[in-house]
Amino acid sequence: MREAPYTTIEGWVTYLGGRTLPVLARTARELALLKQAENTVSARTIAQVILHDPLMTLRVLAFIEANRRRSQHTDITTIERALMMIGITPFFAHFSDLPTLEDHLHTHPQALLGVMRVIARARRASSWAREWALMRHDMDVDEITVATLLHDVAEIMCWVFAPQLSLQLRDTLRSNPGMRTASAQKATFNVSAQELQLALARAWKLPPLLIDLMDDGHAATPRTRNVTLAVNLARHSARGWDDAALPDDFKEIETLLRINHETLLGRLGLPMDGSPPPRAAPDDLLPDTDIAPPA
């Protein structure tokens, strides 16, 4: 566990890029069950399990790139294609006895809750992004889903491998509600999460297309805006549906999807009659864990 920040982004990339990634205990359990039926299970069924877990998704894509064949001229940008490339039986042979996030952070329960909240947020964002990509008739909805799920994986990894610093960042933001998140990240880690995210993605040799989709600096393209806006909505709504940033989020989403405000509210399950919106997403949406949310 890293307890002091590196002074450079290169230090963080070297440290985090070399870690063995744990996965959710739920992921390990479900994959173990599917392995018992590996002769009949489909790649799509396995992919559905993997795509509930940003860390497992990253493990699979990083494995594909680390074992890339010389004859492979096309980037693998979705989990289902990755499974078809690896093969079902070799997949289960390689991804067995996986370390779990819950075991890794069992002595850091507050950090476990913190990372579970980020994972839950990533799931919500990827679900919205997928729905919007379908509405836009995107050329490859699965690419949008994967890029959105992985958009905040650097933040997840900081919770996993630098829990004390991540808790320090959380407390800083709570004590300074008007402080920009990127500024607080730089003050704590000497790098912003977005900078670290892109540097790690390149170190893992993820496909350039996925890196571009995760890069908020390319948000002028509809596909990247699809990802960015879903991530923003998940982040801001996690603080409550009365968050001050949400009206601007709504306007941008409506422009992207070419729908009116009432249609968007309906799709998000929000009241359209002016009644108060629901509170932030409850902790019962957190991934399965043995650690209960604080009262």
**One domain for residues 77 and 163:** no
Is 11 inside any structural domain?
Answer: no
**One domain for residues 126 and 257:** yes
- Among residues 66, 98, 130, the one where a domain terminates is 98
**One domain for residues 132 and 247:** yes
Among 88, 104, 1, residue whose Cα is nearest residue 38: 88
Distance CA 217, CA 225 (A): 10
Residues 6+ apart with CB under 8 A from 7: 190
The more confident residue out of 12 and 220 is 12
Q: What b-and-e string marks burial along 35-56, b requiring 16 or more CB atoms within 10 Å of the CB?
A: beeeeebebeebbebbbbbbbb
Is 217 inside any structural domain?
Answer: yes
- DSSP letter at 162 equals -
Is 142 inside any structural domain?
Answer: yes
**One domain for residues 91 and 118:** no
Mean of pLDDT over the chain: 91
Residue 282 predicted with pLDDT over 80: no
What's the pLDDT tens digit per position in 143-169? 999 999 999 999 999 999 999 999 999
Q: What integer is the mean pLDDT of 22-42? A: 96
* Neighbour count for residue 90 (Cβ, 10 Å): 12
**One domain for residues 61 and 107:** no
Contact 277, 270 (CB under 8 A): yes
Would you tell me the crossing angle of helices 153-161 and 109-135 to the nearest 10 degrees?
170
Q: Residue 239's pLDDT is what? A: 85
- DSSP letter at 23 equals B
Residue 66 predicted with pLDDT over 80: yes
Q: What integer is the mean pLDDT of 87-106? A: 95
Contact 24, 119 (CB under 8 A): yes
Distance CA 201, CA 17 (A): 9
**One domain for residues 91 and 128:** no
Is 159 inside any structural domain?
Answer: yes
Is 12 inside any structural domain?
Answer: no
Q: Residue 71's pLDDT is what? A: 66
pLDDT confidence tier of residue 52, bands split at 50, 70 and 90: very high
**One domain for residues 243 and 193:** yes
Q: Residue 45's pLDDT is what? A: 97
Among 66, 61, 62, residue whose Cα is nearest residue 47: 61
**One domain for residues 179 and 256:** yes
Q: Kindly report which listed range (10-14, 241-245, 247-251, 290-294) carries the lowest average pLDDT score.
A: 290-294
Percent of the chain with pLDDT over 90: 80
DSSP H helices, 18-96, are 25-35, 43-50, 54-66, 79-86, 88-94
**One domain for residues 36 and 138:** no
Domain that holds residue 238: 103-285
**One domain for residues 70 and 216:** no
- Among residues 98, 118, 145, the one where a domain terminates is 98
Distance CA 133, CA 144 (A): 7
- Among residues 74, 98, 122, the one where a domain terminates is 98
Residue 290 predicted with pLDDT over 70: no
**One domain for residues 118 and 219:** yes
Residue 245 predicted with pLDDT over 50: yes
Instruction: Give one DSSP letter per residue of 78-95, joined into a string.
Output: SHHHHHHHH-HHHHHHHS
Q: Residue 294's pLDDT is what? A: 35
Contact 34, 49 (CB under 8 A): yes
Is 294 inside any structural domain?
Answer: no
Distance CA 14, CA 183 (A): 22
Distance CA 239, CA 236 (A): 6
pLDDT confidence tier of residue 283, bands split at 50, 70 and 90: very low
Distance CA 267, CA 265 (A): 5
**Count of domains for the chain:** 2
Residue 94 predicted with pLDDT over 90: yes
- CATH number of the CATH domain containing 185: 1.10.3210.10
Q: Residue 274's pLDDT is what? A: 63
**One domain for residues 38 and 154:** no
Q: Kindly report which listed range (32-36, 111-115, 229-233, 235-239) carries the lowest average pLDDT score.
A: 235-239
What's the pLDDT tens digit per position in 201-235? 999 999 999 999 999 887 789 999 999 999 999 99
